[in-house]
Structure 1
Amino acid sequence: MPRYNDPERPLRAQPGARRSEGIRLSDRQRLNWLRLIRSENVGPVTFRDLVSHFGSAGDALQMLPELMRRGGGNRPIRVATIEDAEREMEQIEKIGARFVGMGEPDYPPYLRHYEASPPLVAIKGNASVFHAPPVAIVGARNSSAVGNRFTHRLVRELGAAGYAIVSGLARGIDAAAHEASLETGTIAVLAGGLDKPYPPENMHLYNAIPEKGGVLISEMPMGWEPRARDFPRRNRIIAGISLGLVVIEAADRSGSLISARLAGEMGRLLFAVPGSPLDPRSAGTNRLLKNGAILVTEANDIVEALAPLISGAAQGELPLSLSDNVLDDEAAASPMPLLGETDRERIIEALSPVPTDPDLLIRHTGLHPSQVFLVLLELDLAGRITRHSGGAVSLLPV
């Protein structure tokens, strides 16, 4: 019998409890969330649409094979089994970590307000760090001695002002940022599984961060070795967790510029430290400044710019997370008019290799929004569309 056999209902806060205390997933719900996000072709946006449409992760899991068939898939979809999920749960527990769902109290609060936030993350350490004002620090892996020195000074000043530091546990600027914030609060986002830190020379930081009151976080499965394409995924979490992102030393084609672009798309404040025009490591940061990034020469430049955002968050001005609805009440599936085969064909014909907003598809076809989103789910699970930032979708060539 599975270990997690309680009803699939979230554990609610007691009546009269503060909203910030949140709603907790039940063990059964957490297991089904893990199974769903580990199933083939289910990413964060697809996960959210599935649960919103079918009412629960358990019901969505049962529908995956049928949805893939309707979308034109020509083989069975791989659905994560209960045994697979329980095994990963046990592996997480063995290293002293746990899974947290979006909408739960220990989920990074600013990450929830991003359309592609991971529904489930593995964390190890002190989750209260997520609730300090978070600032991301990223930069060159082959950082200069001056760059590291400035990073240490900046981070210590931010830590003294009550800020948590977010970075990616990489060589160079990332490592300097974590080292300088060990005593004041640091968040390390991993590109691989929580048990696969990279690079090996930063194992001392990997071990020290949870011991010193910081936290490690990853969305990837346990045992997952980080690959080149996983680092941009990690970068989106770094940007999403933070109120603002600071770039210190970045060449023209640096991965730090990917983080900067993602931060801009999410509406985060973007900061850059100027550098010598003769140093290639400053080409990217100097270009960010030309394009409107906030110039940083001291911590107060960041503190002053973020102060209005922190004040607004304290007064509850952040938008309601879509995940609140997912966690709040997994009761009934969304009502929808019957979907005929000709309706499905109209939606597919309206798609193209050009990214298209679903609202445009709804207006073009005249169909009910839930019908359009259901067909997009089918096509997504069959591997026939690509999702883009802002919710746009494009049809993949056959």
Structure 2
Amino acid sequence: MDNNQPTTIHLTDAQRIDWLRLIRSDHVGPRTFRSLINRCGSARAALEQLPELARRGGAAGPGRICSEQDAQREFAASRKIGVRLVAPGEAGYPPRLAGIDDAPPLLGMRGNTTALMQPMIAIVGSRNASGAGLRFAEKLAYDLGDAGFVVASGLARGIDQAAHRASIHSGTLAVLAGGHDRIYPPEHEDLLYALLEHGGAISEMPLGHVPRARDFPRRNRLISGVSLGVVVIEAAHRSGSLITARIAAEQGREVFAVPGSPLDPRAAGTNDLIKQGAALVTEAADVINAVTPIMERPIELPSREPDEITTFDDPDHGDRARIIALLGPSPVGIDDLIRLSATSAAIVRTVLLELELAGRLERHGGGLVSMI
């Protein structure tokens, strides 16, 4: 199966500490991390430039930069509980996740590394699932596992836990919203430990991080990101599973939905997905037949420590003012900013990076940005 699984880098321990310091510093998310690496050439050089870039973006004061001591402590505590901090392109980092534009620069992972490199299908759905929904999730997960796929899900109540339990022996991946030592819900801690022998668990959050409501949509992009496709089983309107389906479509993943009774509100979201073009699923073969051609394509991973530094020109006062004037609370495309500001892409990239490090800019999917 999925034989095209490249590795592109191997970090030294010193580089890993630098990467950990950078991603744990204020206002540095995955996209900002990559911009900084592209601008500065390395995480260590980026750490040195953070204060000046944030000042130019209008920061009220110096943002917190993760200290080397804090990074060393997290690194040691992670290793103590069997968690490895792995970069995109290193062995064990799920190869399809490494290809998304906001892949975690360091992914905390534990369990069976071999399983995490296998082709994955995500199964998500209602926490308040029906008996029929739970039974179908179990059968689908079991059959996909029997066919050689690892089943990915979010360790939540309902459909998630049913899919995990049915695929424990073939391999299943739990994608966590909190730190590895803050399992949610707490009653699934036994399930987590049971699945580690043949599968694994991943999180981008630091140890000790208790998941909050806003962490779950962020977690959902990892569920879809590791996978060839996402199967939604029972999702009401405004369900978090529909967020996962939307993100999956944005990432170019296959979206599948299991039909349900029009009288059951738990099926309203999945039925709508089918109306919108999601592939209808009644058995594992529907999923396998759709993703088999995708598995034959090579996976190409971007480099995170570039040989050549991307151009980021320093803007003057007029450039910065024009670009900021075009920004507001409504998301706007970066290509539109370049065109409307009549400045170069390098200038726009620099201004956006400065604003983000100052805590004034939010990045959205699809190359959209807005002011906070």
> TM-score w.r.t. structure 1 length?
0.89
Corresponding residue of 1:205:
191
In the TM superposition, what is the alpha-carbon distance from 1:241 to its structure 2 partner? 0.7
- State the alpha-carbon separation in 2 of the partners of residues 68 and 168 from structure 1: 35
Cα 1:234–1:84 shift into 2, 3 Å:
same
- Alignment match of 1:286 (pick from 254, 271, 282): 271
In the TM superposition, what is the alpha-carbon distance from 1:342 to its structure 2 partner? 2.1
Q: State how 1:368-379 maps to structure 2 within 5 Å.
A: 368-379=344-355
| SS state at 2:6 partner | helix
Counterpart amino acid of 1:126? N
In the TM superposition, what is the alpha-carbon distance from 1:385 to its structure 2 partner? 1.5
Gapped runs of 5+ residues in structure 1?
1-17
In the TM superposition, what is the alpha-carbon distance from 1:253 to its structure 2 partner? 2.1
Corresponding residue of 1:41:
27
Contact 2:38 2:306 in 1 (8 A): no
- State the alpha-carbon separation in 2 of the partners of residues 151 and 351 from structure 1: 44
Corresponding residue of 1:186:
172
Corresponding residue of 1:113:
99
Contact 1:22 1:105 in 2 (8 A): no
- Alignment match of 1:131 (pick from 98, 117, 124): 117
Corresponding residue of 1:364:
340
| SS state at 2:259 partner | coil
- State the alpha-carbon separation in 1 of the partners of residues 5 and 249 from structure 2: 29
Contact 1:354 1:394 in 2 (8 A): yes
Choose between structure 1 and 2 for higher RCO, CA contacts under 8 A separated by at least 6 residues.
Answer: 2
- State the alpha-carbon separation in 2 of the partners of residues 342 and 287 from structure 1: 48
- State the alpha-carbon separation in 1 of the partners of residues 20 and 26 from structure 2: 12
Contact 1:23 1:328 in 2 (8 A): no
In the TM superposition, what is the alpha-carbon distance from 1:22 to its structure 2 partner? 3.2
Q: % of aligned pairs identical? A: 53
Contact 2:232 2:257 in 1 (8 A): yes
Cα 1:184–1:336 shift into 2, 3 Å:
closer
Counterpart amino acid of 2:249? G
- State the alpha-carbon separation in 2 of the partners of residues 143 and 22 from structure 1: 41
- Alignment match of 1:321 (pick from 297, 301, 304): 301
- State the alpha-carbon separation in 2 of the partners of residues 240 and 92 from structure 1: 23
- State the alpha-carbon separation in 2 of the partners of residues 279 and 340 from structure 1: 59
Corresponding residue of 2:285:
300
In the TM superposition, what is the alpha-carbon distance from 1:364 to its structure 2 partner? 2.6
Corresponding residue of 1:12:
none
In the TM superposition, what is the alpha-carbon distance from 1:40 to its structure 2 partner? 0.4
Cα 1:139–1:338 shift into 2, 3 Å:
closer
- State the alpha-carbon separation in 1 of the partners of residues 362 and 9 from structure 2: 32
Cα 1:360–1:245 shift into 2, 3 Å:
same
Q: State how 1:162-311 maps to structure 2 within 5 Å.
A: 162-210=148-196, 212-311=197-296
Cα 1:280–1:365 shift into 2, 3 Å:
closer
| SS state at 1:20 partner | coil
- State the alpha-carbon separation in 2 of the partners of residues 43 and 85 from structure 1: 16
In the TM superposition, what is the alpha-carbon distance from 1:366 to its structure 2 partner? 3.2
Corresponding residue of 1:341:
317
In the TM superposition, what is the alpha-carbon distance from 1:126 to its structure 2 partner? 1.1
Q: Deviations over 1:38-61 (max 9, x none)?
A: 000111110000110011111111
In the TM superposition, what is the alpha-carbon distance from 1:335 to its structure 2 partner? 4.3
| SS state at 1:327 partner | coil
Cα 1:371–1:290 shift into 2, 3 Å:
same
Contact 1:23 1:104 in 2 (8 A): yes
Contact 2:121 2:152 in 1 (8 A): yes
- Alignment match of 2:44 (pick from 47, 50, 58): 58
Cα 1:239–1:336 shift into 2, 3 Å:
closer
- State the alpha-carbon separation in 2 of the partners of residues 336 and 350 from structure 1: 20
Q: Deviations over 1:17-66 (max 9, x none)?
A: x9824321111111011111100011111000011001111111111111
Cα 1:154–1:70 shift into 2, 3 Å:
same
Contact 1:169 1:190 in 2 (8 A): yes
Counterpart amino acid of 1:388? H
The 4+ residue runs of structure 1 with deviation greater than 6 A are none
- State the alpha-carbon separation in 1 of the partners of residues 28 and 71 from structure 2: 15
| SS state at 2:75 partner | helix
- State the alpha-carbon separation in 1 of the partners of residues 314 and 241 from structure 2: 47
- Work out whether 1:385 is the aligned partner of 2:361: yes
In the TM superposition, what is the alpha-carbon distance from 1:321 to its structure 2 partner? 3.0
- Work out whether 1:395 is the aligned partner of 2:352: no
Contact 2:178 2:205 in 1 (8 A): yes
- State the alpha-carbon separation in 2 of the partners of residues 353 and 198 from structure 1: 33
- State the alpha-carbon separation in 2 of the partners of residues 244 and 142 from structure 1: 23
Corresponding residue of 1:354:
330
Contact 2:41 2:306 in 1 (8 A): no
- Work out whether 1:91 is the aligned partner of 2:77: yes
- State the alpha-carbon separation in 2 of the partners of residues 150 and 344 from structure 1: 55
Cα 1:253–1:339 shift into 2, 3 Å:
closer
What is the number of residues matched between the two proteins?
369
Counterpart amino acid of 1:23? I
